[in-house]
Chains A and B, each alone.
Chain A
Amino acid sequence: MSDKKPGAASEVMLPIAPMLDMSFQLLFFFILNFNPVSVIEGQMELSLPAPMAVKSNEPKVDPNPKADKEPEVEAELTVLVRTQHSEEHKGQISDLRIQRAKGGEMEVGRKDLPRLIAELQRLQKDLTNKTDIMVQADSHLMWSEVVDVMDACRQAGFTNVGFQPPPDYQPGS
């Protein structure tokens, strides 16, 4: 027979301390493995590179002929980005120009991105294709500088930025 009086509330005590110990261990493990990359990282959609301007001796074999039907970027403007080959400013922008498909070039200056945005916005008004633009950069230009130009193009309202091969491009060089 039970000693408890009928109606007396029996209290069940869970051992909290070991559970807390285990939680702290798990917490420590996850803090050590924490990588906040997804918080600070973003992404941009890319256009595919333009068809090769450089002639190649290799026969062209397309593994996905169906994709050929997809329209390529037909931009009316191309931003030309040049760099110096001197050691001091190697990889940085030395010259920015806007080239029209109909002909003619406009000099923007040395990494004057606000002016580039303003000029692109001004030229955009007269374009038929207001979303597409191409960027042609030198081979030795740093990728971060190219992204800066790409960013400026997107800020100017060109949502579809494509890349052209560098002027001295040799595949796999």
Chain B
Amino acid sequence: MSHGGSSEYVEPNLTPLLDLVLQILMFFIICANFVEEQFSGDILLPVASSARPIDASEVDVLFLNVNPDGKVSAVGREYPMELAETKYYLKTYYEDQQRLAKDGEVRTAVVLRADGRVNYVRVYDLLRICKDQGFRRLRLRASIRNQ
């Protein structure tokens, strides 16, 4: 049945919808991570039940991603590095941080994201290089196993 042509303009109330969308938007903005080199998606992390949630207050960190071939990706490097190149990269990075630090002490924590399929010797090489260059704080990333 027709309503006889009476045009009544009905506008839906969009304010609650906008509120909801803005809240969801806020969640995604807070969780956003734009530095994709830090978290290489190709890496399949090992699983560990003793892994603890990441301490977000730690800001002075250097991410090293070890891919299944044993090559190392780091922020600012377009291509994965071989061992010798990684050694040079870490040496340069350490010296830069030493110059920037007021007391000359480097507090950078090296965060190692190694693929679970890589050979142990590659990870050990990397740990040894980090130690030789002077880094003292190391963090090992793993997927948290639900118990």
What is the interface of chain B mostly: helix, strand, loop, or mixed?
mixed
Chain A contact-residue range equals 35 or more
What is the interface of chain A mostly: helix, strand, loop, or mixed?
mixed
Does B134 lie within 8 Å of A63, measured CB to CB?
Answer: yes
The interface on chain B, measured as residues whose beta carbon lies within 8 A of the other chain's beta carbons, has a size of 62
User: A164 CB to closest chain B CB, in angstroms?
Assistant: 9
Q: Given A36-B31, A138-B120, are A143 and B50 neighbors across the interface (CB < 8 Å)?
A: no
Compute the total of residue contacts between A and B using a CB distance below 8 Å. Answer: 167
User: B32 CB to closest chain A CB, in angstroms?
Assistant: 6
Q: Hey, which chain B residues are within 8 Å of A40, CB to CB?
A: 143-144
Q: A52 vs B18: C-alpha distance in the bound complex, in angstroms?
A: 62
Contacts from A to B (Cβ < 8 Å):
16-17, 19-20, 23-24, 26-27, 30-31, 33-38, 40-46, 48-49, 52, 62-64, 67, 70, 91, 137-148, 150-151, 154-155, 163, 165-166, 169, 171-173
Q: Given A23-B25, A151-B49, A154-B50, are A42 and B141 neighbors across the interface (CB < 8 Å)?
A: yes
Does A166 lie within 8 Å of B144, measured CB to CB?
Answer: no
CB-contacts of B71-102 with A (<8 A): 83-84, 94
Does A141 lie within 8 Å of B120, measured CB to CB?
Answer: yes
